[in-house]
A and B are shown apart, each in its own frame.
Chain A
Amino acid sequence: AQSVTQLGSHVSVSEGALVLLRCNYSSSVPPYLFWYVQYPNQGLQLLLKYTTGATLVKGINGFEAEFKKSETSFHLTKPSAHMSDAAEYFCAVRFDRGSTLGRLYFGRGTQLTVWP
């Protein structure tokens, strides 16, 4: 069965510190991987995605993520947190095989708090 796990429902960092949000997936087929951000009372905004090619993916607002097949991971990082990064972050995975073709599965989300 396919699944997406985000480790840590809440992460707190100081402004200027490294942001690391973890995402692992389980799948027997190569996935397509996404990170979305949701600011308070807003919809979902795509931060970045991995489909094929380079495993280190750069997104908007200084975020990047690395696909590590051996670890089945797609962790999101940002070298220096900003107050405006405070939001909820969702990892999502698409598995294109059989009954899951086209479907997007989400992790439970990680709420990022940034302290001044």
Chain B
Amino acid sequence: EAQVTQNPRYLITVTGKKLTVTCSQNMNHEYMSWYRQDPGLGLRQIYYSMNVEVTDKGDVPEGYKVSRKEKRNFPLILESPSPNQTSLYFCASSLFFPAKTGGGTSNYGYTFGSGTRLTVV
């Protein structure tokens, strides 16, 4: 089954304790991204990656790191979590150039993970 897998689903941690949220996709997608969802603010992009070893900041990157050493994995790292990073996090992946597959732009679409609810106390 084509999917994006995030772990853990729920995490409670203390301020300053480094943590990693994992994200893995099995669709051979070039593009991966992390979002955080906060009430009334919708989803905001943290970081994205257009391919292996290619990452860039989204709209709210402060306090986060990412890496893309393999095509399928895109972990989100919080080196020193703070309470304002308490949020619901989603990983997503997509074909970056759908035309290559012959499907044209009809293949434009993003598959989301089930989310990680993080609480920092």
Say whether A32 contacts B105, CB under 8 Å. yes
Binary flags per residue of B91-117, CB closer than 8 Å to A gives 1, else 0: 010101000000011101110111100
Q: How far is the CB of A48 from chain B (nearest CB, A)?
A: 10
Which residue of chain B lies nearest to A53 when distances are taken between CB atoms in the complex?
B106
Which residue of chain A lies nearest to B45 when distances are taken between CB atoms in the complex?
A103
Q: CB-CB < 8 A to B105: which residues of A? A: 32, 51-52
Give complex CA distance A63, B68 in Å: 36
Give complex CA distance A43, B92 in Å: 11
Q: Give the size of the chain B interface in residues (CB under 8 angstroms).
A: 26
Q: Give the size of the chain A interface in residues (CB under 8 angstroms).
A: 24
Q: CB-CB < 8 A to A92: which residues of B? A: 43, 110
Which residue of chain B lies nearest to A99 when distances are taken between CB atoms in the complex?
B56
Say whether A49 contacts B109, CB under 8 Å. yes
**Within 8 Å of chain B (Cβ to Cβ): is A94?**
yes
Give complex CA distance A105, B30 in Å: 18
**Within 8 Å of chain A (Cβ to Cβ): is B74?**
no
Say whether B110 contacts A104, CB under 8 Å. yes
Contact partner of B42 among A49, A94, A102, A106, CB < 8 A? A106
Say whether B58 contacts A43, CB under 8 Å. no
Q: How far is the CB of A49 from chain B (nearest CB, A)?
A: 6
The interface of chain A, by Cβ under 8 A from chain B, is: 6, 9, 32, 34, 36, 42-44, 46, 49, 51-52, 90, 92, 94, 101-109
